[in-house]
Chains A and B, each alone.
Chain A
Amino acid sequence: MKGSPMRALSRALVRGSTLTPSASAAFLVSSRQPYSTHPPNAKLNLPTDYSTTPLLFQTSQSALANPELSPEVRNGTTKRMNLFQAVNDALSIALAEDESVLIFGEDVAFGGVFRCTGKLAETYGGDRVFNTPLTEQGIMGFAIGAAAEGMRPVAEIQFADYVYPAFDQLVNEAAKFRYRDGACKRNAGGLTVRMPCGGVGHGALYHSQSPESLFTHIPGLRVIMPRSPLQAKGLLLSAIRSNDPCVFMEPKILYRAAVEQVPTAAYALPLSKAEVLKEGSDVTIVSYGQPLYKCEAALRQAEKDMGVSVELIDLRTVYPWDKEAVFKSVRKTGRCLVVHEAMINAGIGAEVAAAIQGDPQTFVRLEAPVARVAGFSIHTPLLYEALNAPDIARIYDNIRKVLEY
Chain B
Amino acid sequence: MFSRAVRISRAAPIRAAAQRVHAASIVSRRTVTTNAASAQVDKSSIPQSDEEPFSVRLSDESFETYELDPPPYTLEVTKKQLKQMYYDMVVVRQMEMAADRLYKEKKIRGFCHLSTGQEAVAVGIEHAIQKTDDVITSYRCHGFAYMRGGTVRSIIGELLGRREGIAYGKGGSMHMFTKGFYGGNGIVGAQVPVGAGLAFAQKYTGGKKATVILYGDGASNQGQVFEAFNMAKLWNLPALFGCENNKYGMGTSAARSSALTDYYKRGQYIPGLKVNGMDVLAVKAAVQYGKRWTEEDNGPLVLEYVTYRYGGHSMSDPGTTYRTREEIQRMRSTNDPIAGLKQHILDWGVASEDELKGLDKQARNHVNEEVAAAEAMPHPEPTPKILFEDIYVRGSEPQFIRGRTPDENFYFSN
Contact = CB atoms under 8 A, between A and B. Distances in A.
Size category, B interface: 35 or more
> Which of B2, B186, B402 has most A Cβ within 10 Å?
B402
B251 A6 contact: yes
Nearest to A16: B109
A44 B314 CA distance: 35
B362 interface: no
Interface string B210-224: 000000001101111
Contact of B218 (A128, A133, A162, A391): A133
A5 B161 contact: no
B132 interface: no
B183 to A, nearest CB: 11
B401 A28 contact: yes
A165 B406 contact: no
Nearest to A110: B251
B145 to A, nearest CB: 16
Interface stretch (B274-282, B337-345, B351-359, B377-385): B377-385
A107 B250 CA distance: 9
A25 interface: yes
B388 A378 contact: yes
Contact of A202 (B109, B219, B224, B404): B109
B175 to A, nearest CB: 7
Nearest to A396: B406
Interface in B21-71: none
Interface string A126-147: 1110110111111000000000
Contact of A127 (B4, B14, B109): B14
Interface stretch (A74-82, A240-248, A252-260, A380-388): A380-388
A363 interface: no
Given A133-B221, A165-B223, A9 B401 contact: no
A381 B109 CA distance: 12
Contact of B110 (A6, A22, A39, A382): A382
B349 to A, nearest CB: 44
A99 interface: yes
Contacts of A117: none
A61 interface: no
B81 to A, nearest CB: 36
B312 interface: yes
A309 to B, nearest CB: 20
A378 B252 contact: no
Given A203-B110, A378-B387, A11 B403 contact: no
A24 B402 contact: yes
A161 interface: yes
Given A5-B317, A24-B402, A110-B251, A383 B188 contact: no
A31 B379 contact: yes
Contact of A391 (B14, B15, B387, B402): B402
Nearest to A376: B398
Nearest to A158: B250
A1 interface: yes
Contacts of A387: 387, 401
Interface string B132-163: 00000000000000000000000000000100
Nearest to A1: B322
Nearest to A384: B387
Interface string A33-72: 0110001001111000000000000000000000000000
Given A11-B316, A28-B401, A378-B387, A126 B322 contact: no
B197 interface: no
> Which of A22, A106, A206 has most B Cβ within 10 Å?
A206
A379 B390 CA distance: 10
Contacts of A396: 406
A11 B381 CA distance: 31
A134 B256 CA distance: 11
Contacts of B364: none
Contacts of B15: 126-127
Contacts of B20: none
B393 interface: no
B7 interface: yes
Contact of B318 (A8, A133, A164, A202): A8
B218 to A, nearest CB: 5
A128 B8 CA distance: 11
Interface in B363-414: 378-382, 387-388, 391-392, 398, 401-406, 408-410
Given A8-B317, A133-B221, A28 B398 contact: no
Contacts of A377: 391-392, 398
A383 B380 contact: yes
B313 interface: yes
Contacts of A3: 251, 321-322
B336 to A, nearest CB: 23
Contacts of A1: 251, 321-322
A5 B319 CA distance: 6
A207 interface: yes
A395 B379 CA distance: 28
Contacts of A383: 161, 169-170, 379-380
Given A204-B171, A378-B391, A13 B316 contact: yes
Contacts of B315: 12
B117 interface: no
A98 interface: yes
B386 to A, nearest CB: 9
A32 interface: yes
B402 A397 contact: yes
A134 B249 contact: yes
Given A31-B378, A381-B170, A204 B175 contact: yes
A126 B18 contact: yes
Nearest to B22: A126
A135 to B, nearest CB: 5
Contacts of B188: 134, 162
B258 interface: yes
Contacts of B252: 106-107, 131
B73 interface: no
A304 to B, nearest CB: 14
Nearest to B216: A134
Nearest to A344: B398
B404 A34 contact: no
A133 B404 contact: no
A165 B222 contact: yes
9 contacts: A2-B321, A3-B321, A27-B382, A28-B410, A100-B1, A162-B187, A387-B401, A393-B405, A393-B408
Q: Please give me the 4 A-B residue pairs with the lowest Cβ-Cβ distance, nearest first.
A: A5-B317, A206-B186, A12-B316, A133-B221
Interface of A: 1-6, 8-9, 11-13, 16, 22, 24-25, 27-29, 31-32, 34-35, 39, 42-45, 98-100, 106-107, 110, 125-128, 130-131, 133-138, 161-162, 164-165, 201-207, 376-379, 381-384, 387, 391, 393-394, 396-397, 400
Interface of B: 1-4, 7, 11, 14-15, 18, 109-111, 161, 169-172, 174-175, 186-189, 218-219, 221-224, 249-252, 256-258, 312-319, 321-322, 378-382, 387-388, 391-392, 398, 401-406, 408-410
